[in-house]
Amino acid sequence: MRSESPAEETPAKALKTSRAGRNLPASIAVGVALVAMVVVSLTVLKESFVVVIAVALGIGLFELARAFSTARIHLPVLPVMTGGTIMLIGAYYGSMETAAVAMALTVLGTMVWRLSEGAEGFVRDVSAGIFSLSYLYLMGTFVVLMLKEADGPWRIVAFIAATVASDIGGYVAGVLFGKHPMAPTISPKKSWEGFTGSMLFGIATGIVTVTYALDGPWWVGVVLGIAGVVFATLGDLSESLIKRDLGIKDMGNLLPGHGGLMDRLDSLIAVAPVSWLILYLLVDVS
């Protein structure tokens, strides 16, 4: 049987995959499900969102471990996950100082854990563990710090909305108008037109969420939107470099239309610290 060329694809097949390479129906369905999970956890009991964060970062850690294994890097998953989860709990029920102590002990624990496997690859594997602890769990503590405030759920909404708006705006503008690559050697599908769309969507979303959800000044929404777009883009590009260095396309296949969970967390974990700082300094707790 003769296979169809791209020009001969049926309309149904053409609709299922966008110019950006995503399975659009699956991508939308997964996105809606993730948003629903976040909303439910924040609405029912905000402490349950700490569990959501811990589970998401744990899955991300397993994806990183699998990706690193392609380069013969053996990430010490158990000590990193255990210590990282304690960091999250310590930040929520204690303070950032508590999380810092937990992180220091986790670094030591990771080194001790790896001792039994001998000297070969020791620096490589321990470095991968400390990198993952910082990349995932240290960033995650800033999400927890936002959550623990009296208006924490709304701060989380503002932070996530600004990040997601960047992704959606970049996707729409990139598909419709993208012609000039932003970083062709890192992420060929990213364009300056898409970045412009991200900025417009991000700023608009930041203004709406800060003024209506947090009762803050509109200009803080502008600052949050711009920062969200810049750091979400940097986070995405950084993860693209990790994947290129390891020679893989996606971090996993857990989320249809998205790839692995890390392919969605990359922007969020990059935006979390700067969102916490902006909201902490510029928006009073309501």
Point out the residues of the chain with pLDDT beneath 70.
1-27, 30-31, 252-259, 286
- What are residue 17's DSSP bridge partners? 23
CA gap 163, 230 in Å, rounded: 10
- What are residue 183's DSSP bridge partners? 187
Distance of CA 175 to the CA centre of its chain: 22
CA gap 21, 56 in Å, rounded: 24
Q: What pTM was estimated for this model as a whole?
A: 0.85
> What is the number of alpha carbons within 13 Å of residue 9 lying toward its C-beta?
10
pLDDT of residue 3: 42
Residue 237, amino acid: L
User: Which pLDDT tens digit goes with each residue over 140-176?
Assistant: 999 999 999 999 999 999 999 999 998 888 888 888 8
pLDDT of residue 27: 66
CA gap 85, 152 in Å, rounded: 19
- What are residue 255's DSSP bridge partners? 259
pLDDT of residue 100: 96
